[in-house]
Structure 1
Amino acid sequence: MGKVVLVTGAARQLGGRFVRRVQRDPEVERVIAVDAVAPPHGLGSAEFVRTDIRQSSIARVLAEHAVDTVVHLAVTGGSPGPGGGTGSAVKETNVIGTMQLLGACQKSPTVRRLVVKSSTYVYGGASRDPAVFTETTQSKSLPAGGFAKDAVEVESYVRGFARRRPDVAVCVLRFANILGPYADSALAEYFSMSVMPTVLGYDPRLQFVHEDDVLDVLRLAAGEPQRGTLNSGTFNIAGDGVLLLSQCARRLGRPTVPLLLPAVTWVGSALRAVGVTDFSPEQIRLLTHGRVVETSQMREVLGFKPMYTTAETFADFARSRGTGLLPPERVGQAVDRVGAMLNGHSPDVGVAGAEEGAQR
């Protein structure tokens, strides 16, 4: 008999894609897709069970289908869309739903593997943070609210579950910002704005992971470990390299509006109120201080190498969003010339120096 895989968050874009992806694995016999709302997309041959993981009924689903592998994708920032819901409902699903799911897994005699989608947002964002986070780095400023705090709480519950059920292989994947043609995150909405507000005086370093790589690493973590690898533990997942926020704006061809931090916070609240984008406090911290993580454990222990670098991920995302208000080349040249003049150089020297720096 093959594996029976249960996937939460199946109504969301990423969850639906993973359901369709994992059922193609020869070692998988059945896939049980779970969500509180009906998915707007097809799920292939998977069996959809409409149930809310905040309720005790999730335990019956595990028992009835003799599930041995659980992939928990219902931990989300709650951007608008199917399965998104209100802020309070999203938080309850993230935290209470995870507690119910872990309680059901703890009582299940058949569950042998648990994969949890987490986020590098657990590291917080502060000026005193280290330049690069490893999986064991303690943040100088833990998240005070929002999705980042939810992710911290979820991981604490998962660690408790792992202690109570040492026979279950537990894998926590901390994803950097997920982008790609189908991305529906708050950051994707921000990058899709015609004009991007930024924090005056800051140009944060950002990392991205392609949604196709997300599907591949989830499949790897849910499967049996290959020789020389270990499919349990906590792993940072990100593409190689970093991009500055200014580089992202230039590659999109979108102008930026630098604002003082209090003004950015006010603008973010206004945009969130009218439903333009979920410009949350943790996203503002990301766009202020940035976040970069070390991924050697991902390669050496988990045995995963992303197909896309951070730059390639962003390029694929940018192609899917079309050209901005200005051609990217003109935006880049204008920024380079202004920067050169501010530094006391001739415009031509500034452009040449910038191009040389970009090549390096």
Structure 2
Amino acid sequence: MISFNLAYGHGAVQRASELTDSDIRLFVADNMDGSVVTIDFPDGKIINRVSTPPSIMILAFSKNKQYIYAMRGRDTDQDVVSIITTGFDPEHNQFRKPHVVRTIAADTPGGPRDGKMATVGGYDAILTEGNAEIVVLMSEIIDGFSELKTRRYKLAAPDHYHYLEGETYLYIGHLFNGFVQVLDRSSGEEVTRIGKCPMLHGMTQDEESGRLFFSCATEVVVVGTLGEEKAKEISRIPYPTNTGRGCAAFFKGKERVQWCYTEGIIPRLYRLDTSRDIYKFETLPVEPSIRQNATQDGKYLMVLSKQGVLYLLDGLDGSFIRKIKISEPFLGDWFEDV
């Protein structure tokens, strides 16, 4: 390798401000070239592309919303987490161009939910599934020069995790091992395990009751986090009969309604009203779909069909509002990083 540099003398130059106004800033992972694309609205202008290692699986906001975490590693032998500034300048209440401030090697990183980082005690946390740890980044400000202080919690075994922080305990669902591990946040010691939950994939929380819902192969197990219910199994909710698979992931609708979708191109969603005394799933028929979500306020339910049609439904009962043709049909197999 040969390094070659020419230095030219020059005088003072005029520096131009890069501060811009924006109503909304959108970050999109582009896995065609391994970059995070920054788009400002209302004009929809692409501000820049931040280069990261390829195959981004997760984009998530930090707790203080100053950073974006880009996590990659679907099928690679080395995984990394890139920490990117959002570009927001609180002093001027305007935006600059985002840039990478730190890149960290991690063994199968994960943990975010609903586009937000997992947290422990108010700090961002990364769950490293390959070596069974929760790594807590004990810094409010992250840059390329300062020491990055961390605290680590050891988990029961390498696995794919579904995590939420409770009042004083940490709750970690283990996919292949089929149990919920409960850790004391202060000591890091294991409090208990709630088992008999094979193929645990998907979880959500009812904020009013504090209860957690973990999706198992044949049912959902409900775990308490507050008062006398803390770290205890409350109940189990069987899936509707003859409907195929269980919940793969949840998203929140209106009021205390939770929606969940099944893995694969299956024409149905499940509806769960967590305000009821007795929990019971209802089934909502939909077109075979490749992506489902809800707006942040839960008002609308969105279903993108395999035929390229976006369906807008009511977030409370799933009633039809409108549909929009947005693309050609999605043919072939579609993976999480596409």
Between 1 and 2, higher relative CO (CA 8 Å, sep ≥ 6) is seen in: 1
TM range (shorter): under 0.3
TM-score by length of 2: 0.27
The structure with the largest strand share of the pair is: 2
